[in-house]
Structure 1
Amino acid sequence: MQIVLEPTSEIQFTDGRVSIYQPEQADRIFPTVPEFSSFADERRHLKERLVAACRAFALNGLDYGFAGHLTVRDPEHPSLYWTNPMAVHFSQVKLSNLILADHTGKVVEGQHAINRAGFVLHSAVHEAHPDIIAMCHAHTVYGGAFASLGKKLEPITQDAAVFFEDHVVIGDEAGQVAVEVKAGNKISHAFTGVKAAIHQNHGLFTVSRHSIEAAAFWFIALERCCQQQLMIDATGIPPRMVTPERARYSREHVGSEYIGWLHFQAIWGQLLETQPDMFD
């Protein structure tokens, strides 16, 4: 089967598939990216997945008090975004307590307050990058520790290769809590053309131009990669790197927006069975 590499390096198949992981047999049970007939249907879908992303963060121990914010644009009003409420644990986020905010930080729907730092950083990125649909950030153990080093992840594993040449280190405002609008504006430019950022002395960020599911899964993956990197560094033994050519190959096949979305479908299925209160 012919594979055509476009200038953007996105892999395209002549039979309409976008990933080699999609089955060639049309009758197999396999997740499909949904299509919507109305903004209302799409909005409901996005809100459900935003809740699921918060619950997934809780399952992975990515909580730290009220810190951490996940956002996704409203499909009908792209200048507004849905986000988790301030001071509500990730495990207790549900449809009924999500809030909708604008780029000034004003809550236009929902009863809870907005996280100030979440507004400053996320709104700046969403406003500067109309293509970015979703964004995730949390204060995590391994991501926070790795961020103190001020360096990029190395291609030490196949998993880490998905971030090869697809993440940046941000030094601006390093270690200073982002509660002023100017702080968000200073770092928002860094998210051009990448899916992840390591903010020095702060932590991890992921974004997606595809879905909240992709942004959430790549955050979980980035945290794991930071853990792996720190464990390897602790041995004092220089690791054998994945070569740049192989790292790029792995990134193109298992590091795309679609693959991030696909990985999250397994998490979604688990949450559907175990946490029905998500939809309260």
Structure 2
Amino acid sequence: MTARSISLVPPTFGSPAEEREHRKERLAAALRLFASFGYEDGVAGHISTRDPEHQDSFWINPVGMPFALMRVSDLIRVDDRGEVVEGEHRTHEAPFSIHSAIYRARPGAQAVAHSHSVHGRALSSLGVPVEPYTQDACAFFGDQGYLDDYTGVVLDEAEGKRLAAALGEAKGVILRNHGLLTVGETVDAATWWFISMERSCQAQLLATAAGEPVRIDEENAARTRQQLGGEFVGWLNFQPLYHQMVHQQPDLLD
């Protein structure tokens, strides 16, 4: 695929099957991108998307499979009881508890991304939000949650509900002593918000280590969020990354 053939308009679909395949292709590519950016940490981390026809279930990466080797055919569909209903691999309690709780709390959310990225983990240990120190960080100004305690690995429905409540209606949440989680109306947006939030954490850590960063004032931070923080912008920023990944690693579509 050449740059000239890349559409910069979100697609429409003729059937649920067509949309399902599209979502799964984006999901497999997103997982490989996470691997390329160093966001994979053992078996921790997961990205999911609702099934477009069966909205009470979602597609997700199977536990233990390397992000860097993920293919469309490897993805599994998990129902609202945590059972694998499509696919040949396994899941476990943590991703189900997290993703199912968020989907129940956020009917409009169609994708969730979470991983133990280094800078997100580091910032989460400081008890502070992503501050509007840079233009890109303004996308999260007034649009991020914070789970202000740590009680161990999220393995049950109650913990999932606490996480979902901390997220609220925001696009991302910082989980104290844990890391980052983002949501979107598409896999594209959810993945981009995670990448952008992680990079904003990195910039903030570097800036505060070097000196006293200048904070963008609230009026301009809010204006910039309106310009850069919408779903379309999140979707759009993912497109070059997706097409680069498919060009370099076309086997992900298998």
Smaller-chain TM-score range? over 0.9
Q: Distance in 2 between matches of 1:201 and 1:82?
A: 27
Change (3 A) 1:147 1:127: same
Q: Match of 1:225?
A: 200
Q: Does 1:93 align with 2:67?
A: no
Where in structure 2 are the equivalents of 1:142-221 lying within 5 Å?
142-172=119-149, 174-208=150-184, 210-221=185-196
Residue identity (%): 42
Q: Distance in 2 between matches of 1:58 and 1:162?
A: 24
Letter in 2 for 1:216: T
More helix by share: 2
Q: Does 1:238 align with 2:212?
A: yes
Q: Match of 2:98?
A: 121
Q: Match of 1:73?
A: 50
Q: Does 1:273 align with 2:250?
A: no
Question: So what's the TM-score if we normalise by structure 2?
Answer: 0.95
What secondary structure, in the 3-state scheme, does the structure 2 residue paired with 1:121 have?
helix
C-alpha distance after superposition, 1:105-153 (max 9, x if no partner): 1111111111321111111111122111110000111100110112111
Q: What is the total number of aligned residue pairs between the two structures?
A: 250
Gap runs ≥5 in structure 1: 1-27
What secondary structure, in the 3-state scheme, does the structure 2 residue paired with 1:33 have?
coil
Q: 1:84 aligns with which of 61, 67, 72?
A: 61
* Largest Rg, 1 or 2: 1
Q: Does 1:130 align with 2:104?
A: no
C-alpha distance after superposition, 1:149-194 (max 9, x if no partner): 121111100011111001011124x151111222112221222221
Q: Is the 8 A contact 1:169 1:198 kept in 2?
A: yes
Gap runs ≥5 in structure 2: none
Q: Is the 8 A contact 1:175 1:201 kept in 2?
A: no
Q: Is the 8 A contact 2:154 2:160 kept in 1?
A: yes
Q: Distance in 2 between matches of 1:85 and 1:100?
A: 9
Letter in 2 for 1:222: M
Letter in 2 for 1:192: G
Q: Is the 8 A contact 1:74 1:82 kept in 2?
A: yes
C-alpha distance after superposition, 1:51-87 (max 9, x if no partner): 1110111111110011101010000010010001110
Q: Is the 8 A contact 1:166 1:196 kept in 2?
A: yes
Question: So what's the TM-score if we normalise by structure 1?
Answer: 0.86
Q: 2:236 aligns with which of 243, 259, 262?
A: 262
Cα distance, 1:30 vs structure 2: 4.8
Letter in 2 for 1:125: I
Q: Distance in 1 between matches of 2:50 and 2:12?
A: 16
